[in-house]
């Protein structure tokens, strides 16, 4: 294990994924050569279509690959200067990564408080746990009112708040969220968006997987586009927001029908060429 | 009326033993999804270990029982680790056959160490009290008391302790539990250890109830199986209610049905619980309190 001096630690990203390859059942490649960084205190969004490898990347980071009979076959994952690839999910939560899973996955038969308790399972410090619990209750007054009730009967938005609160109970340095806006009403999505901004403002770094690219890009500092298990594009959120191809593919502003970033690139090459050809033809006509 | 009340007391005492045995089945099934037929062997071994520590080694009875609990807990965890962990993801049928194999193995081990039936030397005393025509023997009193203590401890653990909540979470959604940093491997180990501990109490009670500790104990324990099924495979509360229902059914059958219907033959009392079980499953396929339908194997 590498010890870092304090000045070094400030420049070291909180999470570094290096040339990662993941295989399912030793055969199917889920990720291939994926590298990315989450700078300390930042929000990084992962965009991509279904099957692009977003969830696989999160499973690799959070140690849940074995549940899906997958494993890391190349590369490394480093949290705060410490390698965590191949470690158990318990060790990874202890190291400082908590996650909000896709579909919320709260424990429906347990009460809100019990759900939060499972989230703080790895924290041994009782006083710290009580403080975090109070903070979560303050953030989510809606679920605080119903803390003794079974969480399974809550609305989608409230369940998402339970799920986020549960993850925060682990007192993470990096919070990983998988499609937190999925299946929620626009107003609730806006609430969730604001919550993520607030959590980040308190110093927690965020890795956000989203299909709702406009929401993700509106709060992220940087973004990575995954496609077929590879990084297809990477840049600051501003850059990606103004990228015609991204607009076309993920922001629903362009012509429909293209399924991949590469398709979009080809499409723009073709249309640009056609435009150039038209311009050329017009010049010829003028002459 | 006196006869009925006496039978009710006897039935409740027997039922609370069945409830303990069923609880052992349920705690393992709920967290690991395994129907562990070797549990009957745990009950058998638990009784013999207690005998070994208390009579052979001449230790105080309570100390002997605690030592037997510790031994069984360790043994159960080792079996889970060495055998059942390897079967995760295998068809239910395979796992059930393996646990049946373990049951036979445990029975053979018991036979080769203690070849005869043994007596626990009446650790509870042999007095009895009479309450308006109802006879309560000390054995039955302590049986119900001990069962109640174990059940109470069980519920307090699952309701309030960190591991108890974690185990309930893991039973609902294993992957989500893993995502919270809960070690599901340890959840499995703890549930097997609990089954081992509860089996010792059940074994000692069963030995006291049938007056001797002998090799048929594992079969008596399997008579608790309908209790677990009719209560619902994954419900501890169901195991307890089911256990008492089966115990009372059995004793009432001996008291009322068998003397009046000799054509049913002897031993119909051990068939009756299955009749009740089938009747309840026809009406409610998930059992009284269960959430999962019984698997067809």
pLDDT, tens digit (0-9, with 9 covering 90-100), for B230-286 = 888 888 889 999 999 999 999 999 888 888 887 877 788 888 888 988 898 888 888
Closest Cα in chain A, distance from residue B89 (Å):
11
Q: Is residue A41 part of a domain?
A: yes
| Residues of B in Cβ contact (< 8 Å) with A90 | 178, 181-183
Which 3 state secondary structure label does DSSP give B57?
coil
Contact assessment for residue A274 and residue A268, using Cβ atoms and an 8 Å cutoff: no
Residue A255 has pLDDT above 60, yes or no: no
Which pLDDT does position A2 carry in this prediction?
43
Query: How would residue A175 be classed by pLDDT, with cut points 50, 70 and 90?
Result: very high
Q: Mean pLDDT, chain A, as a whole number?
A: 88
Which 3 state secondary structure label does DSSP give B283?
helix
Residue B18 burial by CB count (10 A; 0-12/13-18/19+): exposed, middle or buried? buried
Q: Nearest chain B Cα to A172, which residue?
A: B180
Task: List the domain range (segments joined by +) for residue A220.
Answer: 6-96+172-259
| Residues of B in Cβ contact (< 8 Å) with A115 | 169
Integer Cα distance of A121 and A72 in angstroms: 26
Contact assessment for residue B92 and residue B295, using Cβ atoms and an 8 Å cutoff: yes
Q: Is residue A59 part of a domain?
A: yes
| Residue-range domain boundaries for chain B | 2-283
Greater confidence (A8 vs B94) lies with: B94
Taken as a whole, chain A contains a residue count of 287
Which pLDDT does position A3 carry in this prediction?
44
β-bridge partners, A150: A111
**Contact criterion met (CB < 8 Å) for A88 and B168:** no
**Contact criterion met (CB < 8 Å) for A110 and B178:** no
Closest Cα in chain B, distance from residue A119 (Å):
5
Query: How would residue B186 be classed by pLDDT, with cut points 50, 70 and 90?
Result: very high
Percent of chain B with pLDDT over 90: 56
β-bridge partners, A16: A37, A78
pLDDT tens string B123-150: 777 788 888 888 888 888 989 999 999 9
**Contact criterion met (CB < 8 Å) for A170 and B162:** no
Which pLDDT does position A257 carry in this prediction?
47
Query: How would residue B228 be classed by pLDDT, with cut points 50, 70 and 90?
Result: confident
Q: Is residue A273 part of a domain?
A: no
Greater confidence (A110 vs B223) lies with: A110
Query: How would residue B210 be classed by pLDDT, with cut points 50, 70 and 90?
Result: confident
Residue A4 has pLDDT above 50, yes or no: no
3-state percent breakdown (helix, strand, coil) of chain B, nearest 5: 75, 5, 25
Over residues B5-19, the mean pLDDT reads: 93
In our burial notation (b when 16+ CB lie closer than 10 A, e otherwise), range A144-164 reads bebbeebbeebeebbbbbbbb
CB proximity list for A96: less than 8 A, separation 6 or greater? A79, A80, A171, A172, A173, A174
Name the one residue in this structure whose structure tokens are 């037929």: B37
Contact assessment for residue A78 and residue A94, using Cβ atoms and an 8 Å cutoff: no
Which pLDDT does position A74 carry in this prediction?
96
Q: Is residue A110 part of a domain?
A: no
Range with the lowest mean pLDDT among A202-216, B102-116, B269-283?
Answer: B269-283
Which pLDDT does position A251 carry in this prediction?
65
Over residues A40-62, the mean pLDDT reads: 94
Integer Cα distance of B222 and B18 in angstroms: 9
Integer Cα distance of A29 and B292 in angstroms: 35
| Residues of A in Cβ contact (< 8 Å) with B165 | 110, 114, 117-118
Range with the lowest mean pLDDT among A39-48, B25-34, B119-128, B166-175?
Answer: B119-128
Closest Cα in chain A, distance from residue B42 (Å):
30
Which 3 state secondary structure label does DSSP give B289?
coil
Which pLDDT does position B31 carry in this prediction?
87
Query: How would residue A229 be classed by pLDDT, with cut points 50, 70 and 90?
Result: very high
Over residues A13-36, the mean pLDDT reads: 94
Nearest residue, CB atoms, A90 vs list B175, B176, B181: B181
**Contact criterion met (CB < 8 Å) for B176 and A92:** no
Residue A163 has pLDDT above 80, yes or no: yes
Q: Is residue A208 part of a domain?
A: yes
Which pLDDT does position A109 carry in this prediction?
93
Q: Closest Cα to residue B155, out of B18, B26, B10?
A: B26
| Dihedral sign computed on CA atoms, order A62, A64, A66, A69 | negative
Integer Cα distance of B111 and B290 in angstroms: 36
| Residues of A in Cβ contact (< 8 Å) with B235 | none
What single DSSP character describes residue B126? S
Integer Cα distance of B219 and A114 in angstroms: 39
Taken as a whole, chain B contains a residue count of 297
Over residues B72-77, the mean pLDDT reads: 96
Residue A5 has pLDDT above 60, yes or no: no
| Residues of B in Cβ contact (< 8 Å) with A93 | 179-181
CATH 1.10.3470 fits B2-283, yes or no: yes
Query: How would residue B200 be classed by pLDDT, with cut points 50, 70 and 90?
Result: very high
pLDDT tens string A95-121: 999 999 999 999 999 999 999 999 999
Q: Is residue A124 part of a domain?
A: no
Phi, psi of A50 (to 5 degrees): -60, 135
Residue A264 has pLDDT above 80, yes or no: no
Over residues A57-85, the mean pLDDT reads: 95
For chain A, the DSSP string reads -----HHHHHHS-SEEEEEEEEEETTTEEEEEEEEEEE-TT-EEEEE--TTSSHHHHHHHHHT-GGGGTEEEEEEEEEETTEE-TT--HHHHHHHTEEEE-TT----TTSBHHHHHHHHTTT---HHHHHHHHHHHHHH-HHHHTTTTSBGGGS-HHHHHHHHHHHHHTT--SEEEEESTTTT--HHHHHHHHHHHHHHHHTT-EEEEE-S-HHHHHHH-SEEEEEETTEEEEEEEHHHHHT-HHHHHHHSS-S-S---SHHHHHHHHHHHHHHHHHHHHHHHHHH-
Q: Which run of H or E residues covers position B4? A: helix B2-32
Which pLDDT does position A129 carry in this prediction?
95
Nearest residue, CB atoms, B169 vs list A67, A101, A118: A118
Which pLDDT does position A21 carry in this prediction?
96
Closest Cα in chain A, distance from residue B168 (Å):
8
Longest CA–CA span in chain A (Å) reads 83
Q: How many domains does chain A have?
A: 1
Q: Is residue A193 part of a domain?
A: yes
Integer Cα distance of B179 and A98 in angstroms: 8
What CATH number should be reported for the domain holding residue A13? 3.40.50.300
- Binding-site residues on chain A for chain B (CB distance < 8 A): 62-64, 67, 88-90, 92-94, 99, 101, 105-110, 114-115, 117-119, 121-122, 166, 170
Greater confidence (B263 vs B107) lies with: B107
**Contact criterion met (CB < 8 Å) for A107 and B182:** no
Q: Is residue A281 part of a domain?
A: no
Residue A247 has pLDDT above 90, yes or no: no
Token code pair at residue A60: 């690799």
């Amino acid at each position: 294990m590498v010890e870092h001096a304090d000045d070094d630690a400030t420049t070291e990203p909180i999470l570094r994924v290096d040339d990662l390859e993941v295989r399912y059942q030793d055969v199917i490649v889920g990720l291939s050569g994926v590298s990315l960084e989450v700078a300390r205190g930042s929000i990084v969004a992962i965009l991509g279509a279904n099957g692009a490898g977003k969830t696989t990347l999160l499973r690799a980071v959070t140690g849940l690959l074995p549940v899906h009979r997958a494993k890391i076959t190349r590369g490394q994952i480093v949290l705060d200067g410490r390698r965590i690839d191949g470690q158990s999910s318990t060790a990874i939560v202890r190291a400082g990564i908590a996650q909000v899973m896709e579909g919320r996955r709260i424990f429906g038969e347990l009460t809100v408080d019990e759900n939060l308790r499972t989230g703080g399972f790895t924290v041994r410090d009782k006083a710290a746990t009580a403080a975090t619990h109070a903070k979560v209750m303050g953030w989510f007054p809606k679920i605080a009112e119903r803390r003794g009730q079974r969480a399974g009967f809550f609305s989608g938005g409230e369940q998402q708040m339970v799920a986020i609160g549960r993850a925060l109970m682990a007192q993470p340095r990096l919070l990983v969220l998988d499609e937190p806006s999925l299946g929620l009403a626009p107003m609730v999505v806006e609430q969730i968006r604001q919550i993520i901004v607030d959590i980040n403002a308190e110093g927690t770094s965020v890795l956000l997987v989203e299909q709702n690219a406009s929401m993700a890009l509106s709060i992220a500092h940087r973004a990575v586009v995954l496609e077929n298990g590879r990084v297809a594009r990477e840049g600051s959120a501003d850059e990606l927001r103004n990228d015609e191809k991204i607009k076309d593919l993920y922001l629903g502003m362009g012509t429909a029908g293209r399924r991949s970033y590469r398709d979009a690139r080809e499409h723009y090459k073709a249309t640009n060429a056609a435009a150039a050809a038209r311009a050329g033809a017009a010049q010829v006509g003028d002459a | 009326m006196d006869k009925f009340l006496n039978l009710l007391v006897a039935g409740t005492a027997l039922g609370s033993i069945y409830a303990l045995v069923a609880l052992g089945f349920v705690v393992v099934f709920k967290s690991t999804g395994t129907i562990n037929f070797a549990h009957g062997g745990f009950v058998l071994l638990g009784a013999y270990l207690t005998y070994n520590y208390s009579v052979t080694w001449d230790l105080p009875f309570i100390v002997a029982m605690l030592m037997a609990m510790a031994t069984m807990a360790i043994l159960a965890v080792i079996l889970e680790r060495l055998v059942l962990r390897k079967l995760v993801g295998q068809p239910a049928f395979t796992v059930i056959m393996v646990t049946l194999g373990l049951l036979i193995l445990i029975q053979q081990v018991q036979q080769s160490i203690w070849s005869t039936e043994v007596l626990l030397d009446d650790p509870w005393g042999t007095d009895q009290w009479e309450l308006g025509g109802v006879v309560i023997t000390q054995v039955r009193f302590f049986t119900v008391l001990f069962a109640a203590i174990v059940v109470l401890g069980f519920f307090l653990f699952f309701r309030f302790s960190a591991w108890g909540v974690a185990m309930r979470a893991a039973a609902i959604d294993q992957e989500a539990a893993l995502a919270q940093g809960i070690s599901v491997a340890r959840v499995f180990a703890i549930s097997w250890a609990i089954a081992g501990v509860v089996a010792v109490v059940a074994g000692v009670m069963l030995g006291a109830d049938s007056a001797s500790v002998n090799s048929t104990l594992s079969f008596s324990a399997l008579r608790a199986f309908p209790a677990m099924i009719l209560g619902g495979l994954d419900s501890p509360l169901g195991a307890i209610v089911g256990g008492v229902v089966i115990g009372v059914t059995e004793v009432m059958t001996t008291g009322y049905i068998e003397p009046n219907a000799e054509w049913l033959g002897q031993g119909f009392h051990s068939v009756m619980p299955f009749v009740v079980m089938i009747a309840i499953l026809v009406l409610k396929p998930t059992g009284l309190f269960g959430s999962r339908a019984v698997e067809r194997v």
